[in-house]
Amino acid sequence: MNTTLSLYSSLLPDNKHGAVYTQSFARGKVTITLRPLSLGDDWPYISRWLLREIARKLPSAGHLPEKHLRETYNIMLQCDFAQPLMGLINDQPAFVIEICDGDKQGSGVDEGPHEYLPGDHAIRLLLSPTVTHIRQGGYYAIFSCLHYFFSHTNIQRLVWELHERDKHYMQLANHTGFDKSAARKWRGIQVFLYTREKYGLFSDIYPRYAQKQT
């Protein structure tokens, strides 16, 4: 594990970096690894995932168009308040998880579906088709991210804003313990929250459960 990188390290977009977090599930048969995104190496995978979504007529309403998504990742990697991470399953690129300091999201009444408080951090997830073909692959991805993010003491709550058309992602949020927020009503958007307190209750239970799965 690379312990020299902070959660929001400013990085060059095409540089390569080692793992920041690794966790095994299913009695060691499934290993999830998180590392900073390397646009030069990783973009071909991401592009194929997006094209696959379009071909299946199931593009996520929360994902930016391909050109804008690459530009966004480029900016995120170089800033000091956001980070896109590549998730690997058994050393193969499988998902991208983004995290951003909630202080940069705005907290005014009319600025979005969630009022960001100190300690809030926004996430966004892009799954590859590979994840859906692995039993509980999405769960392994989410729980690995939870363990990594909450290892940083500045993370008090994760905020996941999802479009109501993203049924698969909403189901994943519900099944992995996120709580649906009813604080604001925002057309077409559902907000899911995961607090440090909840993580403290379940962080030791889930890995033991996951190791038993085959």
pLDDT surpassing 90 at residue 19: yes
- Express as a percent the part of the chain with pLDDT over 70: 84
| Tens of pLDDT, residues 42-68 | 999 999 998 876 545 455 545 667 778
Mean predicted lDDT score pLDDT of the chain: 86
pLDDT digits (tens, 9 = 90+) for 96-149: 999 999 987 655 555 788 899 999 999 999 999 888 778 789 999 999 999 999
Beta strands per DSSP E along 3-60: 21-25, 30-36
More confident residue, 113 or 152: 152
Question: What structural domains and CATH numbers belong to the chain?
Answer: 21-208 (3.40.630.30)
Which pLDDT does position 73 carry in this prediction? Answer: 94
